[in-house]
Amino acid sequence: MEQDDPAEALTELRERRPGPLELLQVAAGSGLAVYAVWALLLQPGFRRVPLRLQVPYVGASARQVEHVLSLLRGRPGKTVDLGSGDGRIVLAAHRCGLRPAVGYELNPWLVGLARLRAWRAGCAGSVRYHREDLWKVSLRDCHNVSVFLAPSVLPLLEDKLQAELPAGARVVSGRFPLPTWQPVAVVGEGLDRVWAYDIHRGGPAGQAVPGPSSASVLGTPNSQNG
């Protein structure tokens, strides 16, 4: 009985084209791997949230984080990131002097990752990450708010922000603007763009409108910086 030459077998394997069944198996395996990541990292937090309020996790880019900080830097009061994911915005806010900095995230795996990042940065005792539903978090003591949420939930978020935030607070929304509020400043382009909104109490509903104090801090309202 002849033994197969390992070199010939390897060459034959490389030159061999997968058939339809093999391609189907590869696709099924890839789909299973994607589902496993979803089930372990993302789905646990979603089980407790109604479908219309669910927001998929997409981490902020370095440029997006930089733009958020450019609109909040130097402001006093508590800074929170709603849907803080892996905690990068909270950690960066703390490092630039926005303290206390707190993140609220429902997914336990992402909360754990955020705490690990803070520990590795030597900030474990300085920043806080809470596993909480952002829709149930009280914002009455928050003066700086960062949000990177889906457009479908932003109208509901406007209602919550308007009802709970104190006068003088600032909201920075990344990727998508708040649908009915007028920004006092816009920074960046494309998906890296962020919008800043200042909270003032005007009218019986306490509608948020831009205030004159913002122009002195950020320059011309609605200005865009590349």
Q: Which domains does the chain have, with CATH numbers?
A: 63-199 (3.40.50.150)
Confidence label for 44 from pLDDT (cuts 50, 70 and 90): very low
With a cut of 70, say whether residue 171 has pLDDT above it.
Answer: yes
Q: Closest Cα partner for 54 from 108, 134, 172, 130? A: 134
**Does the pTM of the predicted model rise above 0.85?**
no
Q: Please report the pLDDT score of residue 57 as a whole number.
A: 80
Report, as an integer, the average pLDDT of 40-65.
Answer: 65
Q: Please report the pLDDT score of residue 202 as a whole number.
A: 53
Q: Please report the pLDDT score of residue 59 as a whole number.
A: 87
Long-range contacts: 174-178, Cβ < 8 Å, 24+?
174/60, 174/64, 174/67, 174/68, 174/146, 174/147, 174/148, 175/64, 175/148, 176/149, 176/150, 176/151, 178/154
Report, as an integer, the average pLDDT of 91-113.
Answer: 96
Mean pLDDT of the chain: 79
Report, as an integer, the average pLDDT of 191-198.
Answer: 96
Confidence label for 11 from pLDDT (cuts 50, 70 and 90): low
